[in-house]
Chain A
Amino acid sequence: MRYYKIIENGYLVGIGTGVGGIKITEEEYNSLLEHIHNRPDAEEGYGYRLKEDLTWELYELPIVPEEEISSDELMTMIEEVL
C-alpha cells in the first residue's frame, strides 16, 4: 500500500493511502495518524492547524452557516437522482 501526506502553505492538511501527495513510509503514516489523533482540545470557537513541523497552531474558527435540510427534502433529492 502506498502512503502519502499533503502539505499546503506550510501546514500538513491530511494524510492518506493511494496515489498523489508526498509519498511516505507506513511508519511515518502511522506516526502522523497517532499525532493527529492526539490533537489538543481547543476551547469553543477555536481550532488547531497542524504545521509542517508537527506543532499545533491555535486559530479562531470561521463562522459557517448551518446548511441543514429536512429529511423530506433529502428524500426528494435522492428520488430525483435514482
Chain B
Amino acid sequence: MANEYSVNQADLTSVANAIREKTKGSNPLAFPDGFAEAIASIGGLPGNITHLATGTYTFAGDTVDNTAITHDLGVQPHFFMFVKQGSFSANSSKKRMIFQFYVSKSIGNYAGSLIKGYFSSTSGTTTGAVIETGNTTGFKKPDTSVFYVSGRSSNDTTYISGDTFTWICGRCSSF
C-alpha cells in the first residue's frame, strides 16, 4: 500500500506560487499533474555558463592588428561582449574598433564562422555592426587562452588610441 501524506492548503499554495513565479503564469495549478507540467515547462538558457572571464583593454596606438588578449578559460569561448567605457576619446571625429569572435557551433547562418564587426563613432554617434562572416581574411580565431582584437585607423582621420573597452567572454555547457 502506498504511503499517504496530508498537506495543508497554505503550504500547497506556496509551492504553486513559487512555480508560477518561475513560469510567469497566473492560472491555478491542479495537483499533481498541473504542478508537474508547469515545472517541466520551466526553461532557461541553452546551458549553464561553465566558463567566464572578463577584463578591460585600452588601445595605445592608432592601428593595431590581432593583438592577443588573454582570457585563460582553458577552452574556446562561445560568446563575447565588448562594452565601450564612456564616450570615445575626443581626439577625433571618427574612430573604429574591429572585434571578432568565433562561433564554434551553429547559430543561424554563422556555423563555425569567424564574425567580424565594429564599433565606430562618427561625429559623436556611436554605432556597431557585423560586417563580415566566414573565414575573414587576416583575422585569427580565439583559442583556449586568447582572443584577438584589432584597432583600425585609416587615412580618413580614424583613431582608436585611448579608448577603453570592457570585454566578457565565456562558454556554455550545452551550447
Interface size on B (CB < 8 Å)?
Answer: 40
State which of A18, A32, A62 has its C-beta within 8 Å of the C-beta of B154: A62
**Chain A interface size range:** 35 or more
Contact indicator per residue, chain A 32-45, by CB within 8 Å of chain B (1) or not (0): 11001101011011
Question: Contact: A18 with B60, CB < 8 Å?
Answer: no
In the bound complex, CA of A18 to CA of B52 (Å): 12
Contact indicator per residue, chain A 1-34, by CB within 8 Å of chain B (1) or not (0): 0000010100111111111110000000000110
User: Could you tell me which A residues sit within 8 Å of B by CB distance?
Assistant: 6, 8, 11-21, 32-33, 36-37, 39, 41-42, 44-45, 47-50, 60-64, 67-69, 74, 77-78, 80-82
Pick 16 A–B contacts, CB within 8 A, sort by A.
A14-B57, A18-B56, A19-B71, A20-B71, A20-B146, A36-B58, A36-B60, A36-B161, A44-B157, A47-B161, A48-B62, A49-B63, A61-B155, A62-B153, A63-B155, A64-B152
